[in-house]
Amino acid sequence: MLKLKNINKTGVGHKIARVVSDTVHNIFFYRKITVTGYENVEKNKPTLIGPNHQNALMDALAVFSINPKVYPVFLARSDIFFNDFVGNFLISMKILPVYRIRDGKEKLALNEKIFNVSVSILEDNKTLVVFPEAQHTPYRSLLQLKKGLMRIAFHTAEKHNFDIDLQIVPVGIYYKNYFNYRSDLLVNFGKPLKIKDYKQQYEENSQSALVALKKDMREAMIPLAIHIKNKEFYNEYEASRDIFDFYIANKENLNLKKQTDKFKADKKIISILDEYHDAEPEKFIDFSAKIKNYSLKLKNNNIKDYLFDQKPSFIKTFGIFLLTVILLPFNIIGFINFAVPLGLPEIFVKKFKDAQFHSSVRYVATMFIVPLWGIIGFSLLWIFTKIWWIGLAFFVIQTPFMSFWLEIRKLFKKTAGKLRFLFLNSTKKSELQQIRSEILAVFKNIS
């Protein structure tokens, strides 16, 4: 039996888990995390946070790890509560189940209890996180919102005759890369919607007010996230975010090294493509075909597009190559040391057909396996050297050295890519350059 009353408790175990989780998420798993608009989340007010949902557990962690002093409660799909032991553990971690029609009609009635608990959380001026799409998507697109978040908001407001300052904060989460370690993350918090503003409409027609809030919420979320609505040419839009970003950055005076500016460039590119598709659909088909052809040729030659914008110099690339050679011993030591703790999660990853779970599996497995690996190393070194502090030193430097090693790997791969570009057959390079120039000329014209 699920002990829902425990959702209001923040035990020592939760606090310890929070420290470990935040450390792995904020310091190790991601290279850089940028947050905008967090001032929109007011303190000591009932707050409903509604993020977009594209990366399974990582989306929750993106919101969860922002402020170590806040312990939000999350609503999650009920199928992860597959028995009472797991369910009560999740509840102790402040996660509540939401039942859907696919879980069985008889279980839908259980949502009434969940809604009541959710209301009590908001009444206590706490934060509740609900993913309004109610499912994650493998696309950088916002799905149509479900009614769950809106029902909780109105249920809470109605109980208090709308005399409650409930804030509904839209959030957009933007990943530079969904799956890789040491990537960048951007979390955008938007201006809150206030439930009081819907009081009159709700009293006149509750269903109309619910639809209005859902519409307003979606419109508030779209500017905060990457939203590629054109599914037919989705891959071409995705490729365009890299092909045209350098041009847009120069035109708009943006710095692509900043996640916020890269996000702005992506939004601008998508907006231009949407307008072109709507205005001249036949020409857009030809244009997208060229993008598809160019992307395929890049893939076949294992070349990144940005190298045409930021052409690497042979001398500088060779210098960095020498640096990677100097760092090779660290690379080898890192590979030997972390082959097991980073290799084991890949066994679990393969069991998930849905790729959006892969980074979540890597994160959870890493959070448990890496400390365990450190304890094993500590024990073995102490046993064989008889000097305890050598084992302790190994345990302490595990996580920072892993981050350092992963950065070395990234540098090695990036340098290898630049060398492939520099030594690419001149005929193939000229062909790629020609196709790219044609694509860019069209884009410059339409923008």
- H/E/C letters for each residue in the chain? CCCHHHHHCCCHHHHHHHHHHHHHHHHHHEEEEEEECHHHCCCCCCEEEEECCCCCHHHHHHHHCCCCCCCCEEEEEHHHCCCHHHHHHHHHCCEEEECCHHHCHHHHCCHHHHHHHHHHHHHCCCEEECCCCCCCCCCCCCCCCCCHHHHHHHHHHHHCCCCCCCEEEEEEEEECCCCCCCEEEEEEECCCEEHHHHHHHHHHCHHHHHHHHHHHHHHHHHHHCCCCCCCCCHHHHHHHHHHCHHHHHHHHCCCCCCHHHHHHHHHHHHHHHHHHHHHCHHHHHHHHHHHHHHHHHHHHCCCCCHHHHCCCCHHHHHHHHHHHHHCHHHHHHHHHHHHHHHHHHHHHHCCCCCHHHHHHHHHHHHHHHHHHHHHHHHHHHHHHHCCHHHHHHHHHHHHHHHHHHHHHHHHHHHHHHHHHHHCCCHHHHHHHHHHHHHHHHHHHHHC
Give this prediction's pTM.
0.93
Could you identify the residue written with the tokens 């790729």?
Answer: 355
CB atoms under 10 Å from CB of 327, counted, come to: 18
**Domain segments of the chain as ranges:** 4-224, 234-303+427-446, 314-423
Residues 270 and 248: their CA atoms lie apart, in Å, by: 11
Give the pLDDT of residue 204: 95
197-205, Cβ contacts within 8 angstroms, sequence gap of 24 or more: 198/154, 198/157, 199/157, 199/162, 202/154, 202/157, 202/158, 202/162
CB within 8 A of 130, min separation 6: which ones?
48, 49, 50, 74, 75, 148, 149, 152
Do 128 and 72 touch, CB atoms closer than 8 A? yes
| Tens of each residue's pLDDT in the chain, 447 residues | 777 877 877 888 888 888 888 988 998 899 999 999 999 999 889 999 999 999 999 999 999 999 988 899 999 888 778 778 888 888 888 888 888 767 666 677 778 888 889 999 999 999 999 999 988 888 999 999 999 999 999 999 999 999 999 999 999 999 999 988 999 999 999 999 999 999 999 999 999 999 999 999 999 999 999 999 999 999 999 999 999 999 999 999 999 999 999 999 999 999 999 999 999 999 999 999 999 999 999 999 999 999 999 999 999 999 999 999 999 999 899 988 888 888 888 888 888 888 888 999 899 888 888 888 889 999 999 999 999 898 898 888 887 888 899 999 999 999 999 999 999 999 999 999 999 999 999 999 999
Write down the pLDDT at residue 371. 85
CA–CA dist 138, 157 (Å, integer): 34
φ/ψ (deg, to 5) at 95: -125, 125
Tell me how far apart the alpha carbons of residues 130 and 63 are, in angstroms, rounded to a whole number: 11
Q: What is the pLDDT of residue 306?
A: 96
- Within 13 Å and on the Cβ side, how many CA atoms surround 442? 20
What's the confidence (pLDDT) of residue 283?
A: 96
- Residue 277, both tokens: 């598709």
Q: What is the Cα–Cα distance from 2 to 92, expressed in whole angstroms?
A: 10
> 63, 60, 64, 62: which is closest to 76 by C-alpha?
60
The residue assigned the tokens 């502090």 is: 389
* Beta-carbon contacts of residue 32 (< 8 Å; ≥ 6 apart): 184, 185, 259
Q: How many residues are listed for the chain in this entry? A: 447
Q: What CATH topology corresponds to 4-224?
A: Glycerol-3-phosphate (1)-acyltransferase (3.40.1130)
